[in-house]
Amino acid sequence: MAASGGGGRAIRVLNVAEKPSVAKTVSGILSRNQGLRMREGRSRYNKIFEFNYTIQGQPCQMMFTSVTGHLMEMEFEGRYRKWHSCDPVDLFEAPIRKHVPEDKLDIRKTLEEEARKCQWLVLWLDCDREGENIAYEVVEVCLNVNSRLNIWRARFSSLIDREIHQAAQQLARPNQLFSEAVDVRQEIDLRIGASFTRFQTMLLKDAFDFNFSTDGRNLILSYGPCQFPTLGFVVERYWEIQAHEPEEFWKIQCSHTTDEGTANFNWMRGHLFDYTCAVLLYEMCVEEPTATVTKVKKQEKLKYPPHPLNTIELEKRASRYFRMSSEQTMKIAEDLYQSGFISYPRTETDSFSTRTDLHILVQEQQEHPVWGPYAQRLLDPSSGLWRNPSGGGHDDKAHPPIHPTKFSAGESRWSEDHKKLYELVVRHYLACVSQPAVGAETTVEIDIAGEMFSALGRTIVAKNYLEVYRFESWGGSLIPNYTFGQQFTPTSLTLESGITRPPPLLSESDLLDCMDKAGIGTDATMHDHIKKLTDRFYAIKEGSHFKPTNLGEALVMGYDDMGYELWKPYLRSMMEEDMKAVSIGNKRKDDVLATCLQQMKACFLDARVNKTKLFQALEIFFDRTNRTTGGDDQHNHAQQLVRKCDVCHDSDLVLRKKPDGKFMIGCSGYPQCRNVIWLPGSISEAVVTTTVCNICTPGPGFMIQFTFRRLEIPPNFNVHHLGCVGGCDDIMRQLIEMSGSGQRNTSSAPARGRGIAAPSRNDSRNNNTNNQQQQQATCSFCHQTGHNSSDCYSLTSQNRSARSQRVNSNNGDSPIPCPTCGSLCVLKTANTESNRGRKFYSCQTQGCKFFVCWEDSVPTTRGGGSGSATTTSRRGGRGGGGGGGQGGGDVRFVSATGDPVSGRSCFICGDPSHFANVCPNRGMRN
The residue (of 167 and 853) whose beta carbon lies closer to DNA is 167
Q: Applying CB under 7 A, does 15 fall inside the site for DNA?
A: no
The kind and range of the H/E element at 61 are strand 58-66
- SS3 category, 587: coil
Phi-psi region of 659 (alpha: psi -120 to 50; beta: other; left: phi over 0): alpha
Binding status of residue 662 toward DNA by CB under 7 A: no
Q: Which of 27, 175, 197, 434 binds DNA (CB under 7 A)?
A: 197
Tell me, residue by residue from 472 to 511, as one string, x for binding to DNA by CB under 7 A and - for no binding.
----------------------------------------
Q: Decide if residue 130 touches DNA (CB under 7 A).
A: yes
Segment near DNA (CB under 7 A), from 53-61, 185-193, 271-279, 650-658?
Answer: 185-193
Per DSSP, the residues of 772-803 read: HHHHH-B-TTT--BSS-GGG-TT--HHHHHHH
**Of 12, 61, 83, 456, which one interacts with DNA (CB under 7 A)?**
83
**Residue 243 and residue 757: Cα distance in Å, rounded?**
6
CA nearest 185: which of 512, 602, 521?
521
Instruction: Give CA separation, 163 vs 24, 168, 356, in Å.
Output: 16, 9, 12
Binding to DNA by residue 844, rule CB under 7 A? no
* Active-site amino acid positions: 344
Return d(Cα 508, Cα 391) in angstroms, integer: 24
**Is residue 103 involved in binding DNA (CB under 7 A)?**
yes
* The three-state (H, E, C) secondary structure of 227-263, written as one string: HHHHHHHHHHHHHHHHHCCCCEEEEEEEEEEECCEEE
Number of other residues whose CB lies within 10 A of the CB of residue 772: 10
- Residue 308 binds DNA, judged by CB under 7 A: no
Q: If 0-12 CB within 10 Å is exposed, 13-18 middle and 19+ buried, where does residue 9 land?
A: exposed
Q: Yes or no: say if 842 and 854 are a contact pair by the CB < 8 Å rule.
A: no
The stretch among 126-134, 551-559, 583-591, 849-857 that binds DNA (CB under 7 A) is: 126-134
CA triple 301-348-229, angle to 5 deg: 100
Burial class (CB in 10 A: 0-12, 13-18, 19+), 800: middle
Shortest distance, position 131 Cβ to DNA, whole Å: 8
**Three-state DSSP class for residue 5:** coil
What letters, b where the CB count within 10 A reaches 16 and e where it falls short, cover 506-541?
bbbbbbbebbbebebbbbeebbbbbbbbbebbbbeb
Q: State the number of binding residues for DNA (CB under 7 A).
A: 54
Residues in contact with DNA, shown as a per-residue x/- string from 325 to 364 under the rule CB under 7 A: ---------x---x-------x------------------
Segment contacting DNA by CB under 7 A, of 477-485, 522-530, 663-671, 675-683: 522-530
Binding mask 35-74 toward DNA (x if CB under 7 A, else -) reads ----------x----------------------xxx--xx
Residue 661 binds DNA, judged by CB under 7 A? no
Q: Among the candidate windows 78-86, 246-254, 355-363, 814-822, which touches DNA by CB under 7 A?
A: 78-86
Among 81, 117, 359, 836, binds DNA (CB under 7 A): 81
The reply to whether 382 sits near DNA by the rule CB under 7 A is no
Q: What is the nearest approach in angstroms of DNA to the Cβ of residue 228?
A: 7
- Interaction of residue 201 with DNA, rule CB under 7 A: yes
Burial 386-416 (b: 16+ CB within 10 A, else e): bbebbbbebbbebbbbbbbbebbeeeeebee
Q: Pick from 114, 127, 136, 224: which binds DNA (CB under 7 A)? A: 224
Q: Does 401 bind DNA (CB under 7 A)?
A: no
Instruction: For residue 861, give the nearest of 89, 272, 172 by alpha carbon.
Output: 272
Q: Which CB atom, from 192 or from 908, has the smaller least distance to DNA?
A: 192
Residue from the set 126, 240, 423, 553 that interacts with DNA by CB under 7 A: 126
CB of 398 to DNA, least distance (A): 7
The Cα–Cα gap between 815 and 61 comes to 88
**570 is an interface residue for DNA by CB under 7 A:** no
Helix (H) or strand (E) holding 527: helix 526-535
Query: Are residues 172 and 588 in contact, defined by beta-carbon separation less than 8 angstroms?
Result: no
Question: Which stretch, 34-42, 127-135, 832-840, 918-926, contacts DNA (CB under 7 A)?
Answer: 127-135
DSSP 645: -
Choose between 171 and 188: whose C-beta lies nearer to DNA: 188
Q: Which helix (H) or strand (E) holds 643?
A: strand 640-644
Figure out which of the listed residues 27, 509, 522, 610 binds DNA, where binding follows CB under 7 A. 522
Shortest distance (Å) from residue 593 CB to DNA:
14
Give the residues lining the site for DNA (CB under 7 A): 18-21, 45, 68-70, 73-76, 81, 83-84, 103-104, 126, 128, 130, 134, 185-186, 189-190, 192-194, 197-198, 201-202, 205, 218-220, 222-228, 334, 338, 346, 521-522, 524-525, 528-529, 532, 632
